[in-house]
Amino acid sequence: MGMSLKGKIVFITGASAGIGAATALAFAAERARLLLAARRVTKLGEVASLAMESGAAGVHSIQLDVRHRHAVQSAIDELPEEWAQIDVLVNNAGLSRGLEKLYTGKVEDWEEMIDTNVKGLLYVTRAVVPGMVVRGRGHVINLGSTAGEMTYPNGAVYCASKAAAHAINDGLREDLLGTPVRVTSINPGMVETDFSLVRFHGDSTRAAKVYQGLTPLTPEDVADAIVWAASRPAHVNIARVTMTTVHQANSLLFHRE
């Protein structure tokens, strides 16, 4: 039996779809209070309603693009008092753009990945963690990737962004040593979400091929690991969880039927 998440304030970035949305619903089932952030407010509203139906003790939604440093800081500074004491931060917002050789890749794609996956992660962390330190409680859960553990061809910049997330995760844990604030990285392999659709700029035929002949992880599988890490007893810090479908061994090795 783990620690109860009932009434805990869980802040999830990128909560409008994919792993973020599934994570919102998984914490809702634990009766947590959800602070949901994303760029797409309509989709976020749908997740918020579902979360209330699933048992959330409350939902507060904010429109936020984690790439905008000042917007991130004001969003945190301007939280209503009853939402300000964040217990769990799930740094989920992230994306991949393009699958091309580094020497022909699009610089705009690189900027978008680095701005979101690395700088956005830093901005949100920088805005939220000081409060956790002052309150003497908190947990930061970062979404890493198998891509951050092993690079694959045509994915250098995405892989680099996730390797950076890995270093930030470990560095933050080192810097928080001596406080009760926990830091965890959840590193999934292939998960079936809009990930590939976004990577291929909306090319659904190309995106579907990514998942062909294998059973990918679902967003719910990943959400389950996130909730598990968050619900360990207060003295237990899960440093990282690497998880893949049985049809994937690492970034490079897949089994397709």
Q: Confirm or reject binding of residue 116 to ligand 8X3 (CB under 6 A).
A: no
Contacts of residue 7, defined as CB under 8 A and 6 or more positions apart, other chains included, come to: 31, 32, 33, 57
User: For residue 253, what are its two tokens?
Assistant: 């090795």
Q: Confirm or reject binding of residue 190 to ligand 8X3 (CB under 6 A).
A: yes
Using the rule CB under 6 A, give the single segment among 63-71, 127-135, 141-149, 218-226 that binds ligand 8X3.
Answer: 141-149
Instruction: Say how far residue 76 (Cα) sits from the centre of its chain.
Output: 18
Q: How far is the CB of 155 from ligand 8X3 (least distance, A)?
A: 6
Q: Helix, strand, or coil here: 238?
A: coil
**Residues in contact with ligand 8X3, total (CB under 6 A)?**
6
Q: Confirm or reject binding of residue 169 to ligand 8X3 (CB under 6 A).
A: no
Q: Confirm or reject binding of residue 219 to ligand 8X3 (CB under 6 A).
A: no
Is position 158 annotated as part of the catalytic site?
A: yes
Among 147, 186, 217, 222, binds ligand 8X3 (CB under 6 A): 147
Distance separating alpha carbons of residues 104 and 124, to the nearest angstrom: 31
Distance separating alpha carbons of residues 9 and 211, to the nearest angstrom: 34
Distance separating alpha carbons of residues 132 and 140, to the nearest angstrom: 9
Q: Confirm or reject binding of residue 185 to ligand 8X3 (CB under 6 A).
A: no
Distance separating alpha carbons of residues 146 and 252, to the nearest angstrom: 10
Measured CA to CA in angstroms, residue 71 lies from 40, 68, 162 at distances of 15, 5, 23
Q: Confirm or reject binding of residue 146 to ligand 8X3 (CB under 6 A).
A: yes
Q: Confirm or reject binding of residue 145 to ligand 8X3 (CB under 6 A).
A: yes
Using the rule CB under 6 A, give the single segment among 9-17, 49-57, 145-153, 220-228 that binds ligand 8X3.
Answer: 145-153
Binding site for ligand 8X3 (CB under 6 A): 145-147, 189-190, 251
